[in-house]
Amino acid sequence: MKTGFRTLFLFAAVSAFMFAGCGKEGPMGPQGMSGQDATVYYSEWFSPVVWSGGSGDWYFAANAPDLTQGIVENGVVLAYAWLADDVYGGSSVRPLPAYAVGANWSFLIHQYGSIEFTCDSYAAPLTDGNKFRFIAIPGTIPALKSGASGYKSEQELKGMSYKEVCKLYNIPE
């Protein structure tokens, strides 16, 4: 009887030990990147048809339907210029804002769905040869703000070269 009791006790102890870990859920791991990827929008290169404004305050607006309120308010918009008369012979893409060709070049979102490029030169900037582009990164990428999981923070993105940003988001140059 003692042997039967010991066997039953040992069987119960081993069974309890084996099932003690079952049914318990451990803490959740971090969310994978594929569950949090968002579409990064980018424009083609475009040139202004005409510059509006006057001496020291030139601008042109471009249709940009991807620049929604959500992206503008919560994401990051990067803009670039390829200037024909640049000291690098038009072979360099400059992040905006920038000083080049004797003027300050910049951009602003004056209304959702549109982007405005600006130049403070005295004479009207060229329409031929000057090209502009934007890249819009939605704020739905949680790590955009935290800089975690391989994503970059807004400041890091603004400090990267055009080629680095294109490579990071698989954007054709």
- Secondary structure of the chain as H, E, C letters: CHHHHHHHHHHHHHHHHHHHCCCCCCCCCCCCHHHCCCCCEECCCECCCCCEEECCEEEEEEECCCCCHHHHHHCEEEEEEECCCCCCCCCCCEECCEEECCEEEEEEEEECCEEEEEECCCCCCCCCCCEEEEEEECCCCCHHHHCCCCCCCHHHHHHCCHHHHHHHCCCCC
The per-residue pLDDT for 6 is: 54
Can you give the residue ranges of every domain in the chain?
A: 39-168
The per-residue pLDDT for 32 is: 36
For 53-75, the pLDDT digits (tens) are 999 999 999 999 999 999 999 89
Question: Quick check: 101 pLDDT over 70?
Answer: yes
Question: Quick check: 147 pLDDT over 80?
Answer: no
Give this prediction's pTM. 0.72
